[in-house]
Structures are given as C-alpha cells and as structure tokens.
C-alpha cells in the first residue's frame, strides 16, 4: 500500500463537495427576489460549513459607536469573541464594526447592473460603507499580562456569483477591479462556474502612525492596483476558500477588542474599567 496520496485528487473531491453544497435548492427557486435571497443563504451556509467555528457568517448591517450604519450586506464574516454583542431586530442583524473580518456582495452573475452601477461598482460602494465606519480598539489581558490596544485590522471586500457571462477572458473583470480605488477596492471574488480571483495591491500601512483610524484609512487610499490572479474554473471554490482562509488567519488574525464604553454612552452609562 502506498504511503502517499495525491493532494490534487483530494482537492478535486473537496471542490465537488463544495459545488454540491452550493447548488442545493438553488436551481429550483424561480422568483427573482426569492432567488436572490436563496443565493445569499446558500453562500452563507456554505461558508458556515467550511470556515472554522471562530467565524460567524450572516446577512447583516454593520454599525459603529456613533450610531452610523453601513448598507445592508449580503454576507458578513465576523467575530464574537471580542465583539460580545450583536443586535437583532425584525430579523436583521446589526454587527459592531470592530468585529468585521470580511464583507461580500452576492449576485447571480458578475455581469449586471443596479441602477447606473455595474455589479462591481455596486459592490465597491457596499464595501466602502463598512470601511468608513468608526472602529475602536482597547487593551486586553492575555495570559494574565496586559496588552496594549492593537491596530485596526483590514476588512476583506469581495464579490460572489454563480456564473460570469462577460466575454470568457479576464480583461473585463480586471478593468472593473482597476476602476475601484480607496475604500471601495475589492480583494477577491468567485464565480462558481468560471473561477476565483484575488487582487494584488502595492502599498503598506504606515506602522509609525499611532492614530489607528487614520492609519487604516490611509492604507486603503494610498495603495495601488498591481495585478489580478485568476484560478481555473475547476478549482473555483477550493481556491477561493484557501485564499479567504489565508487572509483571515494569517493576514488579519484576531480583530481588535471593542471599547464597550464607547457604546455604553448611547444609554448614558459609564462602565467601570477596573475591578
């Protein structure tokens, strides 16, 4: 018996499992509104199945301590360990901005428009509505040792679809990605029957800047498009999943701890910060 296994074959099997999971009930929803909701729910359930349990995935609106809101978002990946509350009213989740790892817009096709915006422009505006919110950061106790507040983490922005009916080359997609700059820029995406992609940007955070809000905003405003890397269609979901997991675990890590006093001010209360 061989003591080796073909990793490529394992990933091919995983791709087939992922496609089957994502296709559940999708083809049987005929009403356009229901179809949109179904697609969002299928992607949410798919990510819940494959991402580690530390990540929560929901359709949501993101809020900050000033009461500002993002647009309604098709899919938010967020943390509950350091953002211990999520409001739910009338079936809508309101997630504190500090807990957000990634946001995605879900569409049936990369090609299409909402009013005067193509889907990439529309997605960029959704992402921007999250990245411009105020995020706080406070120190924590780790293994009994006080730790200083950490810098604000990057928020991954992306677009997800079932198909891509643009001309079957990558030029049109890349041109749309190039046009999105600053807080609207997109990191990654996936069309199930076409392939996944991620965008390479040039630019680094100015780690000497101790104003964390200014520092992360400037990072987005100053970075520039370099190139886009596309996967093969037969590896669309596996490559998207591997890239997303790499961003979450090794590029972002754990989100900053929330300043609960910033939120308590909304009810005129001051939290005691010592014991």
Structure tokens given for 248: 């979450």
**Distance (Å, rounded) from C-alpha 109 to C-alpha 111?**
5
Q: How far apart are CA 213 and CA 236, in angstroms?
A: 34
266 alpha carbon, distance to own chain's centre: 28
Which pLDDT does position 33 carry in this prediction?
47
Confirm whether 29 is domain-assigned. no
Torsion of CA 19, 239, 96, 34, to 10 degrees: -30
Catalytic: which of 40, 59, 107, 126? 107
- Phi, psi for 153 (deg, rounded to 5): -85, 160
Residue 15 in domain = no
Return the pLDDT at 98: 96
Does residue 40 have an active-site annotation?
no
Q: Which of 135, 69, 78, 71 is nearest to 101 (CA)?
A: 78
Element (H, E) at 159: strand 156-163
Which of the residues 64, 79, 98, 105 is marked catalytic?
Answer: 105
CA neighbor of 127 nearest in space, from 97, 156, 93, 154 = 156
Residue 73 in any domain: the answer is: yes
Closest Cα to residue 101, out of 134, 76, 123, 125? 76
Look at residue 31 and tell me if it is in a domain. Answer: no
Please state the pTM of the whole predicted model.
0.92
Residue in 113, 160, 144, 139 with CA at minimum distance from that of residue 212: 139
Q: Which long-range contacts (CB under 8 A, 24 or more apart) does 110-114 make?
A: 110/159, 110/161, 110/163, 110/164, 110/165, 110/166, 110/173, 110/189, 110/191, 110/194, 111/164, 111/165, 111/166
* 20-46 confidence digits (pLDDT tens): 877 764 554 444 444 556 789 889 998
Question: Strand, helix or coil at 22?
Answer: helix
Of 44, 45, 27, give the one whose Cα is nearest residue 35.
Answer: 27
Catalytic member of 40, 64, 74, 79: 74
- CA atoms of 159 and 97, how far apart (whole Å): 20
145 is a domain residue: yes
Asked if the structure places residue 25 within a domain, the reply is no
Residue 187 falls in the annotated catalytic set: no
Q: Is 109 a catalytic residue?
A: no
Q: What is the pLDDT of residue 225?
A: 97
- Please check whether residue 250 lies inside any domain of the structure: yes
Domain presence at residue 88: yes
Give how many domains the chain has, as a whole number: 1
Which residue positions in the chain have pLDDT lower than 70? 1-2, 24-37
Tell me the three state secondary structure of residue 54.
coil
Per the structure, the complete domain to which residue 153 belongs is given by: 53-265
The two tokens of residue 165 are 């009916």
């Amino acid at each position: 018996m061989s003591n080796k296994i073909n990793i490529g074959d394992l990933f091919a099997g995983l791709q087939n499992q992922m496609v089957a999971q994502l296709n559940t009930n999708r083809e049987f929803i005929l009403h356009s509104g229901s179809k949109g909701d179904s697609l969002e729910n299928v992607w949410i359930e798919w990510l819940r199945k494959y991402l580690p349990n530390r990540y929560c995935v929901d359709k949501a609106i993101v809020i900050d301590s000033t009461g500002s809101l993002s647009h309604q978002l098709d899919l938010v990946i967020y943390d509950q360990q350091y953002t211990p509350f999520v409001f739910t009213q009338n079936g809508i989740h309101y997630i504190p901005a500090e807990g957000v790892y990634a946001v995605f817009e879900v569409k049936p096709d990369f090609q299409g428009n909402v009013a005067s915006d193509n889907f990439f422009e529309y997605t960029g505006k959704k992402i921007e509505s999250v990245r411009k919110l105020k995020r706080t950061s406070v120190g924590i106790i780790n293994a009994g040792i006080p730790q200083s507040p950490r810098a604000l983490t990057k928020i991954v922005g992306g677009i997800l679809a079932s198909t891509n009916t643009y001309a079957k080359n990558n030029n049109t997609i890349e041109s749309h990605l190039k046009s999105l700059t600053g807080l609207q820029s997109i990191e990654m995406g996936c069309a199930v029957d076409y392939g996944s992609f991620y965008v390479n940007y040039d630019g680094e955070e100015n780690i000497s800047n101790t104003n964390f809000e200014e520092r992360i905003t400037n990072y987005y405003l100053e970075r520039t498009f370099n190139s886009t890397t596309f996967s093969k269609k037969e590896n669309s979901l596996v490559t998207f999943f591997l890239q997303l997991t790499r961003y979450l675990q090794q590029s972002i890590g754990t989100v900053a701890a929330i300043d609960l006093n910033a939120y308590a001010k909304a009810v005129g209360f001051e939290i005691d910060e010592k014991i």
